[in-house]
């Protein structure tokens, strides 16, 4: 540790203004502050600060993703790691490049985006597509809007939409069948060329044809699907952690899942064609993963309480409607992006109502 | 009672419940400026011998509030450093002073009540009075709509009310009687903490007989001791004609001292606490007590920041301030942030207490955390987590204000009611992006004030 401190102290002058590598200062600062807590002191009241910072905030999300990662590694094999590595490498490069050009700090938010992105892709997707997708997502979804904190859309979802439109076949046909007991695919590198591993149908796709997967399989995650969204149990584990640590807003989660379940229950009794029951719908597809990890992203969701309720309801209802009333099999991605679009308007409405109330305050 | 937001910050270094008396000082350094007062009108000459209770200077902008000599001695004017220095002190016991005759128009208009209020002013007890809605010194001869008496002190760390009451409960109730004698019919709200201790019950019992005292219970959560919040929660609207007066336990005790015993109020209880303090405690000191002497045995090793006031609302004081000022309610000593933690953000954090529950300490009972002057993170753009809005005790939206200030839209900032901000500092405290919201708001409020003047 002492050696590391000395190393940073020696290197600092080279990265400072006028130094040899002064353009790379964001990279240096990010590395230094990764290892050592920043040295900044408070200058004005309040002289003490809460220990929570954005680094911790983001690492809590990553910790919450660990169960999901573990299950997906078990089900889909080492390929998952390769996808994450590509996502981090390419996305990180875009992030660093923009930080250098803007002369801003490198934001931790990318560590979450870079991990979430491969988790919402089909596990058999070619790796170069993962790279293209994450580059597009970070570039267009985030950096063009001004970087972390200023983006309108969830960058991971922007990347996925791009892939979905650019490579529709690859995005809908590369589902892997999860490995079986006891080792799963944990020692395998299964890809779309692996025989007997590929399928073209997820439980939601099959349900449209009238075949319903077992509810228990959905809960545990022994079904084909996007890398991280198959196991409801693992998602719930991480999701509950996010709610307990207050990183995810409980309002959004309750509103999304509540409105989704209500609509599913209604459709279950109303629709002429038989559809799976609401609890099945909740466990299938990306609704749980999307709700806990994507919809609750604080930057792209509304900031005020009532707007969060409305935002959640819009997402929940949209998912149900896309699933049953359109030709699409799954609608979580579009629903959340729609929520992202309306989030600023919802905020605007609550804020204007609140300002009206504040106007009369003495 | 409608209270929103707030957060109970638990910091290590809480002052003990005893009140100590430090040794008699050899010199006194009376600062001529404090948070509210500017004692610019000197009443003595350089080298003049002064007696205890004699007026050294006055603040012409604040109803002529006096700066009293706490001891007999020789005054030296240290004009450069803005102090009045008293040397060659002798610790005579205090003697009851003859109150100077009140100006004729006051005794004519207000009668005996006016005389009493004049006595408060001249004996230094009026300095403890506040206007609830803006913290200014109210007009001693004005007519309030109500009086708030707060026994709470929640900013870490300031002299607590209950500790002063414990030793002087009878003085406190007598002071309340004196306060009532200054009023006509206005109610006195006695703000007590919502706790079930034996002492709280004793206080409630002691004031039960007074019909004009309305006890109010408030949860022990910062900043619910703030007068503006209390006044708002009690439905006392702001009225320039009839302001709400507000004072704390120290003010009531000063009232008792000046009106019952006719003694000048030249001592008070302050606290010394915080992570940089050894054996944090309460002390009875007089204004002007040399800070260096006061802290010599109480300041921890290593660099320590000295804050006049609490950790959330105080002012850092440098070596240029030599003595305790008249308004000081406590000194908070914070160790400067020196050691940079290795891989801090991945540590489980069972030893840190956070508003969020992102640390393992969420699993254990709330414990005081040792806090330094570290910002504890890097400055990041606002991620709209909403914590600032949750803790805000006045119901404004700090994240919105931050955005509007960034856009430099001052009209919108005013519409978003920056003026309601009481500068409690909680939004800056909880912000995970480490945005100095409080400082930003203070500067913007200043800019807006200047624009209104032009």
Residue carrying the six token digits 């609401």? A278
Strands (E), B286-386: 304-308, 315-316, 330-335
Checking if the pLDDT of B3 tops 80, the result is yes
Chain B hits for A7, Cβ within 8 Å: none
Give the gap in angstroms from C-alpha A340 to the nearest C-alpha of chain B.
14
Distance, C-alpha B406 to centroid of its chain: 31
Give the gap in angstroms from C-alpha A205 to the nearest C-alpha of chain B.
36
Judge: A303–B389 Cβ closer than 8 Å, yes or no.
yes
Judge: A49–B386 Cβ closer than 8 Å, yes or no.
no
> What residues contact B415, with CB distance under 8 A and at least 6 apart?
A355, A359
> ipTM of this predicted complex?
0.91
Chains A and B form CB pairs within 8 A to the count of 210
Residue carrying the six token digits 């803007």? A102
Q: What is the pLDDT of residues B64-95, one digit of tens each?
A: 999 999 988 999 987 767 899 999 888 777 66
Mean pLDDT, residues B211-217 taken together: 91
At residue A172, the pLDDT reads 84
Q: Which has the closest alpha carbon to A34: A148, A115, A111?
A: A111
Judge: A45–B315 Cβ closer than 8 Å, yes or no.
yes
Judge: B417–A359 Cβ closer than 8 Å, yes or no.
yes
Judge: B357–A46 Cβ closer than 8 Å, yes or no.
no
Band of the pLDDT at B257, cuts 50, 70, 90?
Answer: very high
Chain A hits for B386, Cβ within 8 Å: 249, 298, 303-305
Q: Which residue of A has its CA nearest to B378?
A: A38
First to last CA, chain A: 55
Give the gap in angstroms from C-alpha B434 to the nearest C-alpha of chain A.
7
Chain B hits for A361, Cβ within 8 Å: 395, 417, 420
Judge: B375–A38 Cβ closer than 8 Å, yes or no.
yes
Judge: A56–B428 Cβ closer than 8 Å, yes or no.
no
Q: Which residue of A has its CA nearest to B425?
A: A46
> What residues contact A343, with CB distance under 8 A and at least 6 apart?
A300, A301, A302, A307, A311
Checking if the pLDDT of B159 tops 70, the result is yes
Q: pLDDT > 70: what percent of chain B?
A: 98
How far apart CA B325 and CA B265 sit, in angstroms, is 14
* Secondary structure class of B324 (helix, strand, coil): coil
Strands (E), B53-138: 55-59, 65-68, 72-78, 83-90, 130-131
B271 within 8 A of B330, measured Cβ to Cβ: yes
Q: What is the pLDDT of residues B312-333, one digit of tens each?
A: 999 999 888 899 999 999 999 9
Name the pTM for this structure.
0.92
B7 secondary structure, DSSP code = B
Domain map (residue ranges) of chain A? 1-49, 54-353
Q: Output the CA torsion sign for B372, B378, B382, B384.
A: negative
Residues B349, B350, B351: CA angle, nearest 5 degrees: 90
Bridge partners (DSSP) of residue B190 are: B149, B215
Q: Which residue of A has its CA nearest to B439?
A: A44
CATH of A54-353, one of 3.40.190, 1.10.10, 1.10.3430, 1.20.120: 1.10.3430
Judge: A46–B315 Cβ closer than 8 Å, yes or no.
no
At residue B362, the pLDDT reads 87
Q: Which of B334, B356, B434 sits opposite A246 (nearest CB)?
A: B356
Chain B hits for A61, Cβ within 8 Å: none
At residue A271, the pLDDT reads 87
How far apart CA A171 and CA A129 sit, in angstroms, is 10
Mean pLDDT, residues B154-166 taken together: 91
Residues B116, B117, B118: CA angle, nearest 5 degrees: 90
Chain B hits for A52, Cβ within 8 Å: 354-356, 358-359, 377, 430, 432
Checking if the pLDDT of B100 tops 80, the result is no
Distance, C-alpha A202 to centroid of its chain: 20
Collect the ranges in chain A with pLDDT lower than 50: none
Q: What is the pLDDT of residues A192-217, one digit of tens each?
A: 666 566 776 788 888 888 788 888 88
Checking if the pLDDT of B308 tops 70, the result is yes
At residue A177, the pLDDT reads 84
Judge: B342–A50 Cβ closer than 8 Å, yes or no.
no
Judge: A361–B420 Cβ closer than 8 Å, yes or no.
yes
How far apart CA A124 and CA A189 sit, in angstroms, is 10
Residue carrying the six token digits 């004196």? B178
Give the gap in angstroms from C-alpha A79 to the nearest C-alpha of chain B.
27
How far apart CA B386 and CA B33 sit, in angstroms, is 38
Q: Which of A38, A46, A298 sits opposite B377 (nearest CB)?
A: A38
Q: How many CB atoms are closer than 10 A to CB A119? A: 25
Please, what are the domains in chain B? 19-94+266-335 (no CATH), 104-260 (3.40.50), 375-453 (no CATH)
Q: Output the CA torsion sign for A224, A226, A227, A229.
A: negative
Task: Pick the residue of A4, A5, A37, A349 with the most B CBs within 10 A to test the interface with B by mutation.
Answer: A37
More confident residue, B387 or B342: B387
Structure tokens at A156: 């991971």
How far apart CA B380 and CA B127 sit, in angstroms, is 42
Any idea of the CA torsion for A297, A300, A305, A308, to the nearest 10 degrees?
A: -90
């Amino acid at each position: 540790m002492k050696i590391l401190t000395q190393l940073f102290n020696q290197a600092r002058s080279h990265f400072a203004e006028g130094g040899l590598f002064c353009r790379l200062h964001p990279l240096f600062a990010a590395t230094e502050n990764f290892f050592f807590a920043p040295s900044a002191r408070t200058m004005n009241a309040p002289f003490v600060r809460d220990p929570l910072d954005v680094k911790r905030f983001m690492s809590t999300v990553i910790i919450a993703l660990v169960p999901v990662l573990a299950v997906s590694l078990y089900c889909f094999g080492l390929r998952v790691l390769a996808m994450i590595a590509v996502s981090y490498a390419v996305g990180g490069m875009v992030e660093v490049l923009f930080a250098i050009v803007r002369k801003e700090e490198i934001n931790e938010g990318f560590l979450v985006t870079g991990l979430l992105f491969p988790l919402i892709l089909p596990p058999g997707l070619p790796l170069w597509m993962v790279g293209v997708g994450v580059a597009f997502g970070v570039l267009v979804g985030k950096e063009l809007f001004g970087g972390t904190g200023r983006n309108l859309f969830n960058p991971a979802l922007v990347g996925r939409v791009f892939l979905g439109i650019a490579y529709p076949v690859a995005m809908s046909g590369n589902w892997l069948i999860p490995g079986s007991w006891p080792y799963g695919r944990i020692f395998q590198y299964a890809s779309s060329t692996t025989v007997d591993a590929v399928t073209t149908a997820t439980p939601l796709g099959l349900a449209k044809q009238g075949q319903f997967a077992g509810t228990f399989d959905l809960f545990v995650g022994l079904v084909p699907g996007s890398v991280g969204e198959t196991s409801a149990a693992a998602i719930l584990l991480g999701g509950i952690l996010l709610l307990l640590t207050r990183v995810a807003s409980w309002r959004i989660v309750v509103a999304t899942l509540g409105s989704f379940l209500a609509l599913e229950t209604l459709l279950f009794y109303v629709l002429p064609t038989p559809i799976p029951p609401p609890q099945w719908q909740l466990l299938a597809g990306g609704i749980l993963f999307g709700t806990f990890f994507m919809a609750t992203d604080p930057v792209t969701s509304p900031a005020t309480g009532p707007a969060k309720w409305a935002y959640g309801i819009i997402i929940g209802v949209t998912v149900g409607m896309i699933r049953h009333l359109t030709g699409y099999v799954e609608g979580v991605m579009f629903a959340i992006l729609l929520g992202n679009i309306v989030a600023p308007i919802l905020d605007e409405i609550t804020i204007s109502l609140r300002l009206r109330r504040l106007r009369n305050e003495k | 009672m409608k209270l929103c937001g707030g957060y109970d910050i638990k910091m290590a270094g809480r002052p003990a419940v005893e009140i100590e008396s430090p040794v008699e000082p050899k010199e006194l350094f009376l600062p001529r400026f404090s948070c509210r007062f500017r004692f610019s009108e000197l009443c003595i000459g350089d080298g003049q011998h002064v007696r205890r209770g004699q007026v050294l200077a006055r603040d012409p902008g604040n109803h002529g509030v006096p700066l009293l000599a706490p001891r007999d001695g020789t005054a030296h004017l240290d004009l450069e450093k803005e102090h009045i220095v008293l040397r060659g002190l002798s610790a005579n016991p205090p003697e009851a002073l003859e109150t100077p005759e009140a100006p004729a128009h006051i005794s004519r208009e207000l009668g005996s009540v006016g005389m009493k209020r004049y006595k408060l002013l001249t004996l230094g007890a009026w300095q403890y009075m506040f206007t609830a809605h803006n913290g200014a010194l109210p007009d001693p001869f004005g007519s309030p709509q109500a009086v708030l008496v707060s026994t709470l002190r929640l900013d870490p760390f300031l002299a607590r009310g209950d500790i002063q009451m414990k030793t002087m409960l009878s003085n406190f109730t007598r002071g309340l009687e004196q306060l009532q004698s200054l009023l006509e019919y206005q109610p006195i709200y006695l703000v007590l903490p919502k706790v079930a201790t034996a002492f709280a019950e004793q206080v409630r019992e002691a004031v039960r007989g007074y019909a004009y005292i309305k006890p109010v219970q408030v949860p022990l959560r910062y900043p619910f001791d703030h007068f503006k919040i209390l006044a708002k929660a009690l439905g006392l609207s702001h009225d320039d004609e009839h302001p709400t007066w507000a004072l704390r336990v120290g003010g009531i005790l000063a009232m008792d001292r000046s009106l019952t015993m006719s003694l000048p109020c030249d001592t008070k209880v302050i606290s010394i606490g915080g992570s940089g303090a050894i054996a944090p405690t309460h002390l009875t000191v007089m204004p002007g007590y040399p800070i260096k002497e006061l802290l010599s045995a109480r300041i921890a090793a290593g660099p320590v920041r000295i804050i006049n006031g609490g950790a959330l609302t105080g002012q850092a004081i440098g070596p240029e301030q030599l003595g305790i000022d008249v308004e000081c309610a406590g000194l908070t000593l914070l160790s400067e942030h020196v050691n940079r933690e290795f891989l801090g953000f991945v540590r489980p954090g069972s030893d840190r207490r956070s508003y969020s529950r992102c640390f393992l300490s969420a699993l254990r009972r709330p414990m005081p955390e040792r806090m330094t002057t570290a910002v504890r993170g890097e400055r990041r753009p606002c991620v709209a987590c909403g914590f600032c809005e949750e803790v805000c005790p006045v119901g404004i939206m700090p994240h919105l204000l931050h955005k509007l200030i960034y856009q430099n839209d001052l009209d919108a900032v005013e519409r978003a009611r920056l003026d309601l901000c009481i500068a409690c500092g909680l939004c800056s405290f909880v912000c995970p992006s480490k945005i100095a919201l409080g400082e930003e708001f203070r500067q913007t409020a200043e800019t807006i004030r200047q624009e209104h003047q032009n």
